[in-house]
Structure 1
Amino acid sequence: MRAPDDVVLTPTQWLPPTVVKAVDAQAEGLVTPDEASAMGYERLPVSAADAAPQLAGRAGRSALARAGVEPAAVRTVLHAWTYYQGHDFWSPAHYVAREVGAVRAVPIGIQQMCNGGAAGLDAALARLVAEPDHGPVLVTTGDRFAAPGFDRWGSDYGVWYGDSGTAAVLARGGAGSEHALVLRAQVTEAAPDLEVVHRDLDRFQEVPHAAYPTVNVRRTKKAFLTGTGREPFVARLRETTSRVVAAALESARLAPDDPALRAVLLPRLGGATARDIYGPAVAEITPAPAVDLGADTGHLGAGDLLSNLTALGGPGPWALRPGEHAVVLSAGAGFTWSGVVVGRP
């Protein structure tokens, strides 16, 4: 979908101040030297106390302040997550809306795994296109990968999980703040037949963690790859990523070799994944550099996309300059891929 020219996006994030370094995890035997080398990440933010929706609330308040938007003016709050939100039978989206002061908004929860931030942007954009006078939309994500239910170092193959809250305010009209970006286009593609990659084939369970006390994605991925083989799966991931990058650029009316295209930011899934899947997929379409900004965060669940957008909004070395554009990729179990094109006016 190509966005109207006046859709402005103001992103931000909130990372817990506590970090755990990869060298310490290796010293404690939580990861092997080979795993640390393949990952190439240095540290993970870890929430010592705040639950995932609380992290999202912190980020949401920051995004509203950055955008100069009064909380009561927000019409819709879209909250996405990947893992447990702190209560068993409850609406975290409504909690986030209350926490940020969006008391007149309609809160909506989005559970599209690690593509949840992109799903939130997509829903926000659709709302703003359908109702141009709708008013600001707040998109948030919140994830906390706490033990014992989740092993942030070992529950998955080649992915380390950090805790975060991320957010973005979307609105039509106006120049926005100094951190605002113009949303040019978003393209999403899904492959529902791949949902089995993350599903335990034994049987459906009645309650969470009934089969295993800790999430074990390695088990489900190993079962899937044993049947299909790694190379056909990797090839499909590359092909789909390439299509999404190409379609996003076409929708934004940007040539793949446009010198204004500064970078393609990747999901924060580690050095080996960037080398084997995302880097080659991007190179098939554009000479723009494929960049992984996950060294200090790890994978943020549903928050990768908005965290990457925060880097583009600045301040920092990846802040876009006037006239520059970037593609931000997102992917999640299911599988779903999104490509978001943003620019600096």
Structure 2
Amino acid sequence: MISDDVWLVPAEWLPPEAEKTTDALAAGRVSADEADAMGYEQLPVSTGLSAPEMAVRAGLRALSRAGVPAGDLAAILHAWTYYQGHDFWSPAHHVAAGTGALGAVPTGIQQMCNGAAAALRAAVHHHAAHPGGAPVLVTTADRFAPPGFDRWGGDYGVWYGDGATAAVVGTGTPGRRGPGSGIPEGALALCALQTRAAPELETAHRDTGTFHPAPHTRSAAVDVRRTKKAFLAGHGKPRFLDRLRHETTAVLAAALAEAGIGSGGRRLTEVLLPRLGRATARDVYGPAVAEVTDAPLADLGERTGHLGAGDLLSNLTALAAETGPHRLEPGRYAAVLSAGAGFTWSAAVLRRA
């Protein structure tokens, strides 16, 4: 159970360059059927900055919006799914140094595409262990660059965009905001955060024949299609999709119960989905969410694609925006879903503070 005073201020940093779906179609990188199933317009592409460098930019943006000096942070929690620019180092420490959080304790969070939710969970636990303590900065960043990754064709039903997200997570006086309250203007209150896992499904992203001695030993580029194809041959796609729907329903139902949605007049304005495309929203998330709420669904990945570990915080950034179609109005509630290889599922419920 989350205490009623946890708030967060999210931000994102996306590279200005992008690759268009129309160009990928023309080049034969995707088929017309794949483009229709995804329904996305473009993918942001970092042509120069590494993932941790983008995380620094997102982190600084979140700190600025929250009005929190980097020197006041207690911890940095950095999550990612793919290569961070060096073979043997700690990207979390780079984010701490780059943001100026030299007194914070940096920690890497590795839970694949559920990494933002895992880092947010760790931040909540940190505040529970240190009541009234200093804020924590959560960051995510991924860059799916060649030759190691084919953002358009390396996976089934997922297109990968580059970018970074962040959130300052702190505690403050419930029911108050602005100067003197400890809660920044525009912050989101975290009302619930639930997570479920099914580790028996981890072979969907692993070659089961052997473990490899070094990255890219098996293939020059990451090939998620190879491992998923072998996994589905053994488990069956219908049974796998049923499991995805079941776990999504269960984790969302638990989060709504924790937040008291459905009681006392509390209702969701919408449910924001992981950015996995139109077909996944229709076949997995639509039926799963409909089991527990009639709130509308939204997939905000049209111009970002899947941001690796960053989908959840990017969605929170849309909720916290000053303007826009997904801005969460004061006193209203929204849910955000997250999922990652392993598998792990999370659901968060937010209220405009």
TM-score, normalised relative to structure 2: 0.96
Provide the residue aligned with 2:225 in structure 1: 218
After the TM superposition, which of the residue ranges 49-58 and 256-265 deviates more from structure 2?
256-265
Provide the residue aligned with 2:37 in structure 1: 38
Looking at structure 1, the residues matched to 25 and 131 of structure 2 have their Cα atoms a distance apart, in angstroms, of 52
Write the deviation string for residues 321-341 of structure 1: whole angstroms up to 9, x where unpaired: 011101100000000000011
Provide the residue aligned with 1:120 in structure 2: 119
SS at match of 1:150: coil
Looking at structure 1, the residues matched to 161 and 253 of structure 2 have their Cα atoms a distance apart, in angstroms, of 30
Provide the residue aligned with 1:19 in structure 2: 18
After the TM superposition, which of the residue ranges 253-262 and 169-178 deviates more from structure 2?
253-262
Provide the residue aligned with 1:339 in structure 2: 347
Looking at structure 1, the residues matched to 264 and 112 of structure 2 have their Cα atoms a distance apart, in angstroms, of 32
Looking at structure 1, the residues matched to 305 and 264 of structure 2 have their Cα atoms a distance apart, in angstroms, of 30
Identity of aligned residues (%): 61
1:254 deviates by 1.2
2:200 equivalent to 1:196: no
Contact map agreement 1:256 1:287 (CA 8 A) in 2:
no
Contact map agreement 1:260 1:323 (CA 8 A) in 2:
no
Contact map agreement 1:257 1:288 (CA 8 A) in 2:
no
- How many residues get paired? 344
1:256 deviates by 8.0
Looking at structure 1, the residues matched to 266 and 314 of structure 2 have their Cα atoms a distance apart, in angstroms, of 24
2:126 equivalent to 1:103: no
Provide the residue aligned with 2:306 in structure 1: 299
Looking at structure 2, the residues matched to 257 and 302 of structure 1 have their Cα atoms a distance apart, in angstroms, of 34
SS at match of 2:82: coil
Looking at structure 1, the residues matched to 280 and 267 of structure 2 have their Cα atoms a distance apart, in angstroms, of 26
2:74 equivalent to 1:75: yes
Which of 225, 236, 255 is the equivalent residue of 1:248?
255
1:112 deviates by 0.5
SS at match of 2:229: helix
Counterpart amino acid of residue 263 in structure 1: E
Looking at structure 2, the residues matched to 104 and 15 of structure 1 have their Cα atoms a distance apart, in angstroms, of 27
1:123 deviates by 0.2
2:347 equivalent to 1:327: no
Matches within 5 A, 1:90-239: 90-173=89-172, 175=177, 176-239=183-246
Looking at structure 1, the residues matched to 306 and 43 of structure 2 have their Cα atoms a distance apart, in angstroms, of 9
Looking at structure 1, the residues matched to 287 and 142 of structure 2 have their Cα atoms a distance apart, in angstroms, of 29
1:304 deviates by 0.3
Contact map agreement 2:55 2:139 (CA 8 A) in 1:
yes
TM-aligned CA distance change 1:257 to 1:280, over 3 Å: farther
SS at match of 1:126: helix
Looking at structure 2, the residues matched to 202 and 22 of structure 1 have their Cα atoms a distance apart, in angstroms, of 35
Write the deviation string for residues 111-157 of structure 1: whole angstroms up to 9, x where unpaired: 11000000000000011112112210000001000001000000000
1:43 deviates by 0.6
Provide the residue aligned with 1:312 in structure 2: 319
Looking at structure 1, the residues matched to 55 and 73 of structure 2 have their Cα atoms a distance apart, in angstroms, of 16
1:279 deviates by 1.0
SS at match of 2:83: coil
Provide the residue aligned with 2:86 in structure 1: 87
1:75 deviates by 0.5
1:253 deviates by 1.3
Contact map agreement 1:165 1:303 (CA 8 A) in 2:
yes
SS at match of 1:140: strand
Write the deviation string for residues 282-319 of structure 1: whole angstroms up to 9, x where unpaired: 01110001111110100000000000000000132101
Counterpart amino acid of residue 301 in structure 1: G
Unaligned 5+ segments in structure 1 are: none
SS at match of 2:71: helix
Unaligned 5+ segments in structure 2 are: 178-182
Looking at structure 2, the residues matched to 279 and 335 of structure 1 have their Cα atoms a distance apart, in angstroms, of 19
Write the deviation string for residues 246-297 of structure 1: whole angstroms up to 9, x where unpaired: 0000011111895631011100011110000011100111000111111010
TM-score, normalised relative to structure 1: 0.98
Looking at structure 2, the residues matched to 239 and 202 of structure 1 have their Cα atoms a distance apart, in angstroms, of 29
Counterpart amino acid of residue 278 in structure 2: G
Counterpart amino acid of residue 323 in structure 1: G
SS at match of 2:242: helix
Contact map agreement 2:260 2:266 (CA 8 A) in 1:
no
SS at match of 1:329: strand
